[in-house]
Amino acid sequence: MRKFVLAATAALAWAVVLAQPATADAPIREDLPPFTATVILTGICSFPVTVESVLTGYQTIYLDRDGNPTRIDIDTAEQDVFSANGKTLVGLPYNFKVMLVFDSETGELTHAYARGVASRVPLPGGDLFLTAGRIDFVNHPDELFVLQPDTGAQGNIA
């Protein structure tokens, strides 16, 4: 019985060794410098809205055994200011995560998912506009700021 247990343990250990993925470099964590952006949104109101955003955060880069990125995770905090027609709404700070996924064969970006809160804005009168969900920026190639998630919801949550 002892030989059977020893043989079974050795077979299991060998199977685990064979099942291990190729060794990859350790992930790299980097703080990101503050980033600011200004965009003009059309289509959310009957007039254009200027959005000024400030983002801070860090990224974690995952590499394959050849040192090529396979995925980059970005954790960020953002605050937005919306302006139009002489009025300004200052959004509350919010956090979201971005995952950049690269094709293992070509190294090209295949997806850029953002998930979490995408905006929190106190409205005049005490209401709160909130949008949250998941956005794949690959589906929005010309948009730096996407207010309506691909999946999720937005609206006044009074």
The CA-based angle 114-26-134, given to 5 degrees, is 10
Alpha carbons 40 and 12: distance in angstroms, whole number: 59
pLDDT at 99 over 90: yes
- Give tens-digit pLDDT for 30-83: 999 999 999 998 877 899 999 999 999 999 999 998 889 999 999 999 999 999
Alpha carbons 56 and 39: distance in angstroms, whole number: 18
Q: What is the pLDDT of residue 158?
A: 57
pLDDT at 122 over 80: yes
Alpha carbons 133 and 154: distance in angstroms, whole number: 9
CA-wise closest residue to 79 among 36, 131, 134, 132: 36
Q: Is 71 within 8 Å of 101 (Cβ atoms)?
A: yes
Q: For the whole model, what pTM was predicted?
A: 0.71
pLDDT at 3 over 60: no
pLDDT at 24 over 70: no
Share of the chain above pLDDT 70, in %: 83
